[in-house]
Amino acid sequence: MGSFLISYDLYVPIRNHQLLVEEIQRIGNCRQCLDSLWVVKSNETCGLIKERLTKHIDRDDKLLVVGLKPHWAVHNLSKDCTDWLSKKI
């Protein structure tokens, strides 16, 4: 099982945001660490995750999916997010 960072810029956030968030949550165990940044545990690949999520965004929206390694650092994130990262990554 891998860990993935998902980040996005939506140009019409009201229209797309909820559907995108619901799909991210279906991918696997996840935490929203910043407004448009999630960390997800999944058996899927970066490419498969990207394909699932691009169905829920517009052509001009931006999406980034990156595989994570167990080395990470944060500053001023919520305790919930840092606790989750400590346990899952």
pTM of the model: 0.86
Q: Answer yes or no: is pLDDT of 16 > 70.
A: no
Q: At what angle do helices 13-27 and 46-54 cross, to 10 degrees?
A: 140
SS3 21: helix
Question: How confident is the prediction for the chain on average, in pLDDT?
Answer: 92
Q: pLDDT per residue over 30-72, tens digit each?
A: 999 999 999 999 999 999 999 999 999 999 999 999 999 888 8
CATH class of 2-88: alpha beta
- Cα–Cα distance list, 61 to 16, 20, 22 (Å): 10, 11, 17
Domain coordinates of the chain in residue numbers? 2-88
SS3 66: strand
Closest CA to 2 of 25, 29, 24: 29
Tell me what the mean pLDDT of segment 5-14 comes to: 87
